[in-house]
Amino acid sequence: MTYCVGLLLDAGMVLLSDTRTNAGLDHISSYRKMFSFEMPGERVIAILTAGSLSVTQATLAKLQEAIENPEATPESSILMAPTMLKVAEIVGETLWSVRDANDQRLKTNGNFGAASMIVAGQRKGGRMRMFLVYPEGNFIEATEDTPFLQIGEHKYGKPILDRIVRPGTSIEDGEKAVLLSMDSTLRSNLSVGMPLDLAVIHNDECKVGFQRRIEPGDADFRRMSDGWSKALRSSFAKIPLHVQG
């Protein structure tokens, strides 16, 4: 499994992904699931991936090829696309075409491979936008009402986001929220695992402003995680129980 989350805040976008990949329980590896494409000051695009590794890797490779193609057009290259909506369309089309081609063969086995992606970015003069691209290539967009998107094992980490994240949430609180959301997921699902990739894109900077890989045993992350556990337990102890008696 995977857990990736993106927040679309007024001040910027906060992105977090894990790196665990498994084919069965006896074949576990680490693969990056966060990718960025930049023309600093002009355009920034980040893509988070979940699902079949053969599908996500081939999709990213094809997106990169299309960028480097000397005959690239605004219809084919995510760095030339006129809008973030068009970027999401290109990602969706590429994802679907890879999957569709794979499935022609996989179905002979009764198998299939699917993947989903979060596409977040901004081009100069436009606003920040964030999309969740489904395995079939269609997509939805984060809005004021729902300023976060999740892919993969999303349920364990959703309650804290539901309670905390609003468009006006600060970048710092956004980082805290995604890390604590990931912490709950790591505790509850073994197939989501460290290291983590954290990135921040500030509004109107059109570049990745901050990026950090958080390794297993990272002292900062552990301090935050332990602090949260302690705070939760002490809050729990303080809540009065009214229902009985």
Given the rule CB under 8 A, which residues bind a second copy? Answer: 155-156, 158-160, 162-164, 172-173, 175-177, 179-180, 184, 187-188, 198, 200, 210, 212, 214, 219-221, 223-224, 227-229, 231-236, 238-244
Residue number, 9 or 79, with CB nearest to a second copy: 9
Please report how close the Cβ of residue 62 comes to a second copy at its closest, in angstroms.
Answer: 33
- Tell me how far, at minimum, the Cβ of 217 lies from a second copy, in Å: 14
Task: Give the whole-angstrom CA distance, residue 160 versus residue 173.
Answer: 12
Residue 46 Cβ vs a second copy, minimum distance, rounded to whole Å: 17
CA distances from 53 to 6, 139, 228, 235 (A): 20, 20, 32, 40
37 or 156: whose CB is closer to a second copy?
156
Cα-based distances in Å from 235 to 110, 124, 228: 49, 44, 10
For residue 168, CA distances in Å to 2, 8, 10, 107, 144 come to: 27, 10, 6, 46, 9
DSSP 107: G
Contacts of 93 (CB under 8 A, 6+ apart): 137
Q: Which is nearer to a second copy, 9 or 98 (CB)?
A: 9
Q: Where are the alpha helices (DSSP H) in the chain?
A: 53-68, 84-106, 158-164, 171-188, 219-238
Q: Between residues 86 and 158, which has the closer beta carbon with respect to a second copy?
A: 158
Which residue carries 């679309």 as its tokens?
A: 8
Nearer to a second copy, 25 or 219 (CB): 219
Report the C-alpha gap between 219 and 242 in whole angstroms: 39
Least gap, CB of 245 to a second copy (angstroms)? 9
Q: How far is the CB of 233 from a second copy (least distance, A)?
A: 7
Closest alpha carbon to 86 in 74, 69, 96: 74
User: CB-wise, 59 or 185, nearer to a second copy?
Assistant: 185
Q: Which is nearer to a second copy, 124 or 155 (CB)?
A: 155
User: Please, what is the minimum distance in Å from the beta carbon of residue 170 to a second copy?
Assistant: 10
Reading the block at residue 238, the tokens are 């303080």
Q: CB of residue 14 vs a second copy: minimum separation in angstroms?
A: 10
Task: Name the nearest CA neighbour of 118 among 5, 1, 196.
Answer: 5
